[in-house]
Amino acid sequence: MTVNQNMLRMEFVDFKMIFIIALSLMGSVVNSKQVGEFKLPTNFNPFRYELNVTTHLEDKFMFEGIVGIHMTCVDATDTIVLHSNSLNIDTESVMVANGVQNVVKVDSVSFNPKKDLMYVKSTVNFKPGDKYVLTIPFTGNITDDLAGYYKSSYVDKESNQTRWLAVTQFEAADARRAFPCFDEPAYKATFKIRLGHKRGLTSISNMKFMKQINCPLHSDYIFDEFEESVPMSTYLVAYMVSDFAYIEADNRYDEVQFRIIARKDAANQTEFANNLGPKVLKYYEDYFDEKFPLHKQDMVAIPDFSAGAMENWGLVTYRETELLIDLDVATIDNVHGVAEVIAHELAHQWFGNLVTMKWWTDLWLNEGFATYVAARGVDFLYPEWNSFQVDTVQNFLSVLDLDSLQSSHPVSVAIGHPDEISQIFDTISYLKGSVLLHMMNSFLGEDTFKQGIRNYIHKHKFSNAEQDDLWSSLTEEAHRQETLDKNLTVKQIMDTWTLQTGYPVLKVVRNYSAGTVTLSQEKYLTVKSNGKDDKSCWWIPITMTTSRDINQTKVKSWLNCENNNLTTPLAKDNEWVIYNIQMAGLFRVLYDTRNWMGIISTLNNPTKYKTLPVLNRVQLIYDSLSFSHVGDMDYVITFQLLKYLKHEKEYAPWWAALRGLSPINNLLKRTPKYVVFQNYMQRMLSSVYSKFINMSVELDGFENIHFKNIVTAEACGHQIKNCTQQAVDLFRKWMKIIDPDNNNILPKELKPVIYCQAMKCGGVDEWNFLWERYQRSNLGHEKENILLALGCSSRKLLLQRYLNWSLDSSIIRKQDAYTVFHFVASNNVGFSLAKDFLYRKIADISEYHQPRSDRLGRYVNVIGSQMKTQEELEEIQSFINKSSCYLKGADLAINQTIETIKKNIEWTLKFYNKIENYMV
């Protein structure tokens, strides 16, 4: 794989989290009136649910149940309004009672399917302050939509039989698909759940199992009753019926029962998670100064799962690749990914579950904080990895890329129709949110930040909060500890970062004769707006260092909207000045040419380059490449800076350089100039690749392994002969091994690279051999690596068949359909095939992914992001216009695609014919 493909693979690591992390984009921003239009009226406040659900698997694939919703009337009304979607409800059996026996006559029950609303109208007004119980019987189908209450399956190895299970996935607005409810996060209530199912199966829910009850009507069915829950939002309710195995942890910390639940055939892959989980819980109890409030914590590996994982309180559900792992086979990237996803979901038990956002506008409070504190947790448990720095670099650069588009969205964004909610589970909510929290930690200090968070959780636990509540707690603590000026508030600073799209570029211009430096800011955009009417402005924390003072990290001052042109003294004889120490603030820095040349002189000195902190070397590399890409800086300066890499020994700067060069790679591939870029990359990589040239030598150390992986992937991707030949030879040697499934002789850390190169250089035999390994494997990570690699083939017929298979869930699981499309589309040979597949099959793709229509935006994005001519822009715009009915809910993904193509066209016109002049 090329480094670009390696980074794209990050989409599938979480997430919800960084699968969640990547290309799912936000729909059109709505105003407050539209938000109100789609929210429930506030006439009732539910405080307790009694939920009974009977699950029928294999024969019927349906469920039936009855829910009793206890609620308090807040405002006089004759109508109860709640949510219901795709449920069959016998309207004649709907009842309302005031007290135990006082039945309130129901006049009518009606529905608004477009808004998922159910109306229960009485003949009299409900009285404010009175308590009522609304009872609704319902039935529904257990679908394969991966949303609501859905079915999943696997093949049992011992019997070779298909086994079925039913499991919930309710975030963001799909609890209403499983039972009628007040399906908004602000409506917290307790839940008393009973689950009926056939004997021989087991059920689990959020809370601990209490007792089993025989079913009087069906002797082969039983009911499991669970403890009443703590108050929680409907999207966190969870339950499952299966024949899974339960593996309990050796819990050394407190009274919390901790279990991993999975297919019996995968029970041997649970040890890592069972060991890590309780330690992470303990870390968070200490970090938040708040005990975990439940008696048990289950984590379940689901064979078919749309996201990466889901933080249901006490019952976290995962895609198998995010929970199960065989340490003898898995790569360090796999291990780190599982650790981070577990840490992310368990962080939610406090930030999201204990304290929940009032509305989806503040989703970033959930996801940004879970992403940030998960990186802290993993770093605490595995300090030898130095993974916090790696995460910081990857998150920071990802945000810089996406948030430089006009069509990005604010961290805190208005949400109206429920269809829009799923689209903000993206890089902005997760990664920008995390980077902003890291920035706050830097300028407030660790003690202030941590105590402010603790105060926030203590104040709002078992309730709901919004962004301003967090700002208030942090401000109070900062003023108490005197880490923030009394005249300044966190809200004043941070609203500029969360309520507007994008981020600034800090412009640094020195007056060398006067001995001064002038700072100013403007919004950074990769496609410049026509006018100068953008009034965006940020509170920027100013940290700086000079060649004489390299350890100055304290915030010296703030650049803000009232003081947006700041001139300060700076000694004339300083070689250079660098701002944003340790890359703590979310902004780029653009220096004058003389300052850049001073920095480059130091970097190119093998005895001095380390005087610049690693994270600042990362930012210098990435900023210079980005500035040159949009024409703000001469490429001559940037390629001069990159020459220093010949003596760079750290992973993070190399990662930044290779990621920063990938846009040039994408714009030149499939063009006559690509050979020029290939030759440049071969020269650039020759020295560092020589350190890692032997694929069979396995290294120790998190960063060392990542360093070798990324350099080897680039070397093979840019056709360094030794690399490609080694990969092909090793793969063909493996093909000849007896029992290759149990005797994989390939170096485990480089398997993804070797698989891809073997597919690229091989033919039908190699492809079929690897496909057979996929079918036989019981390891989720191995299957994922193989799926990605199969898309590297150079054989068009194989790729065409592979694309067709992606829409057949009997061959490739639905959760992996986009993965297949993405990696075929990213392949030079596969691009045109994938584009044609999308154009021809848009109706089929849309139907296949229902009800998640936002996923269509990803398909369009991966194709459009590789286009670079006016003709291609017109072509895809025509396709979008013709397919508009299938692309509803993906409007900003479409807008970003169009903006990206325009950016690509602009670069091609400016630089295509002269880029070779710089790469000397």
Asked if pLDDT for residue 53 goes beyond 60, the answer is yes
Q: What confidence score (pLDDT) does residue 5 get?
A: 32
Q: Which of 311, 345, 420, 477 is catalytic?
A: 345
| Whole-number CA gyration radius for the chain | 28
In the block, tokens 């700002």 appear at: 471
- Report the amino acid identity of residue 158: E
pLDDT digits (tens, 9 = 90+) for 96-154: 999 766 888 899 999 999 889 999 999 999 999 999 999 999 999 999 989 999 999 99
Torsion of CA 13, 16, 21, 25, to 10 degrees: 140
Asked if pLDDT for residue 600 goes beyond 60, the answer is yes
Query: Contact, 209 vs 195, CB < 8 A?
Result: no
619-636: average pLDDT: 96
345 is catalytic: yes
Q: What confidence score (pLDDT) does residue 763 get?
A: 95
Indicate the range of 33-42, 237-246, 421-430, 792-801 predicted with least confidence.
33-42
Alpha carbons 34 and 325: distance in angstroms, whole number: 45
Query: Contact, 557 vs 542, CB < 8 A?
Result: yes
The structure tokens listed for 419 are 């269809």
Alpha carbons 856 and 886: distance in angstroms, whole number: 8
Tell me the backbone φ, ψ of residue 887, rounded to 5 degrees: -105, 15
Asked if pLDDT for residue 710 goes beyond 80, the answer is yes
Question: Distances in Å between the alpha carbon of 124 and those of 43, 77, 105, 106, 181?
Answer: 15, 8, 8, 9, 22
Contacts of 108 by beta carbon, 8 Å cutoff, 6+ apart: 91, 119, 121
Tell me the backbone φ, ψ of residue 324, rounded to 5 degrees: -90, 140
Count of alpha carbons within 13 angstroms of residue 405, beta-carbon side: 25
Nearest to residue 488, comparing CAs of 542, 557, 430?
A: 557
The structure tokens listed for 126 are 């409900």
Q: How confident is the model at residue 14 (pLDDT cuts 50, 70, 90)?
A: very low
Instruction: List 280's β-bridge partners, or say none.
Output: none
**DSSP of 471-499, one letter per residue?**
HHHHHHHHHHHT-S-TT--HHHHHHHHHS
Angle between helices 751-761 and 721-735 (to 10 degrees): 90
Question: How far, rounded to the nearest angstrom, does the alpha carbon of residue 103 sit from its chain's CA centroid?
Answer: 48
- Which DSSP state fits 549? B
Three-state secondary structure call for residue 83: strand
Compute the C-alpha angle 23/29/34, nearest 5°: 135
Q: What confidence score (pLDDT) does residue 18 get?
A: 31
Mean pLDDT over each residue of the chain, to the nearest integer: 90
Q: What confidence score (pLDDT) does residue 758 get?
A: 96
621-634: average pLDDT: 95
Q: What confidence score (pLDDT) does residue 531 get?
A: 55
Contacts of 727 by beta carbon, 8 Å cutoff, 6+ apart: 695, 716, 750, 753, 754, 757, 758, 761
Angle between helices 467-481 and 446-460 (to 10 degrees): 130
Q: Exposed, middle or buried: residue 158 (CB in 10 Å: 0-12, 13-18, 19+)?
A: exposed
Q: What confidence score (pLDDT) does residue 597 get?
A: 95
pLDDT digits (tens, 9 = 90+) for 512-569: 999 999 999 999 998 877 655 578 899 999 999 987 666 666 787 899 888 788 899 9
304-329: average pLDDT: 94
Nearest to residue 422, comparing CAs of 893, 72, 792?
A: 893
Asked if pLDDT for residue 15 goes beyond 90, the answer is no
Angle between helices 490-498 and 467-481 (to 10 degrees): 140
Tell me the backbone φ, ψ of residue 700, rounded to 5 degrees: -110, 155
Asked if pLDDT for residue 27 goes beyond 90, the answer is no
Q: Exposed, middle or buried: residue 119 (CB in 10 Å: 0-12, 13-18, 19+)?
A: middle
Three-state secondary structure call for residue 117: strand
Q: What confidence score (pLDDT) does residue 59 get?
A: 77
Tell me the backbone φ, ψ of residue 355, rounded to 5 degrees: -115, 120
Q: What confidence score (pLDDT) does residue 863 get?
A: 95
pLDDT digits (tens, 9 = 90+) for 358-395: 998 899 999 999 999 999 999 999 999 999 999 999 99
Q: What confidence score (pLDDT) does residue 101 get?
A: 67
Question: Distances in Å between the alpha carbon of 326 and those of 19, 251, 685?
Answer: 21, 21, 33
Query: Among residues of the chain, what percentage have pLDDT more than 90?
Result: 79
Q: Exposed, middle or buried: residue 912 (CB in 10 Å: 0-12, 13-18, 19+)?
A: middle
Query: Contact, 66 vs 179, CB < 8 A?
Result: no
Report the phi/psi class of residue 553: left, alpha or beta, with left for phi > 0 and alpha for psi in -120 to 50.
Answer: alpha
Asked if pLDDT for residue 12 goes beyond 50, the answer is no
Query: Contact, 866 vs 831, CB < 8 A?
Result: yes
User: Checking DSSP bridges between strand 257-262 and strand 296-302, what pairing results, if any?
Assistant: parallel
Q: What confidence score (pLDDT) does residue 20 get?
A: 30
Alpha carbons 482 and 125: distance in angstroms, whole number: 54
Asked if pLDDT for residue 684 goes beyond 90, the answer is yes
Report the phi/psi class of residue 170: left, alpha or beta, with left for phi > 0 and alpha for psi in -120 to 50.
Answer: alpha
User: Checking DSSP bridges between strand 315-319 and strand 309-310, what pairing results, if any?
Assistant: antiparallel
Alpha carbons 353 and 62: distance in angstroms, whole number: 29
Answer whether the bond into residue 851 is a cis peptide, omega within 30°: yes
In the block, tokens 């401000």 appear at: 475
Start-to-end Cα distance in the chain: 25
Q: How confident is the model at residue 92 (pLDDT cuts 50, 70, 90)?
A: very high
Q: What confidence score (pLDDT) does residue 3 get?
A: 29
- Helices and strands counted in the chain (H then E): 28, 31
pLDDT digits (tens, 9 = 90+) for 723-749: 999 999 999 999 999 999 999 999 999
Asked if pLDDT for residue 253 goes beyond 90, the answer is no
Query: Contact, 753 vs 712, CB < 8 A?
Result: yes
Contacts of 619 by beta carbon, 8 Å cutoff, 6+ apart: 580, 583, 588, 589, 656
Three-state secondary structure call for residue 28: coil
576-596: average pLDDT: 95
Q: What confidence score (pLDDT) does residue 219 get?
A: 81
